[in-house]
């Protein structure tokens, strides 16, 4: 295993997880804003629904990135123990 490559991949996965979390937080806040202030405006239900879909897919993709990140971290730990 190329340790430097694995370390770079691990850092990229950390950044990917953080980016998904940033988007997840913003989608949640936007949905709350729409519910609180804009729910009666034309087109907002559709926009809210699309944000809900983005939220769900981002949560799924974040979990995938977490799983791969953890696998890389375990491989690195095993490699450095040898």
Segments making up each domain of the chain, as ranges: 3-81
Distances (CA, A) of 6 to 43, 76, 79, 81: 46, 7, 10, 15
pLDDT of residue 81: 81
pLDDT of residue 80: 85
Instruction: State the angle between helix axes of 44-81 and 3-33 in degrees (0 to 180), rounded to the nearest 10.
Output: 160
pLDDT of residue 82: 72
> What is the value of pTM for the model shown?
0.90
Tens of pLDDT along the chain (82 residues)? 789 999 999 999 999 999 999 999 999 999 999 999 999 999 999 999 999 999 999 999 999 999 999 999 999 999 888 7
């Amino acid at each position: 295993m190329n340790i430097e490559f694995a370390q770079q991949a691990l850092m990229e996965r950390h950044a990917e997880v953080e980016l998904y979390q940033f988007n997840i937080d913003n989608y949640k806040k936007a949905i709350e804003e729409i519910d609180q202030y804009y729910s009666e405006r034309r087109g907002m239900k559709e926009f809210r629904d699309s944000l809900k879909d983005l939220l769900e897919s981002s949560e799924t993709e974040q979990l995938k990135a977490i799983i791969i990140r953890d696998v890389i971290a375990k491989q690195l730990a095993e490699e450095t123990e040898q």
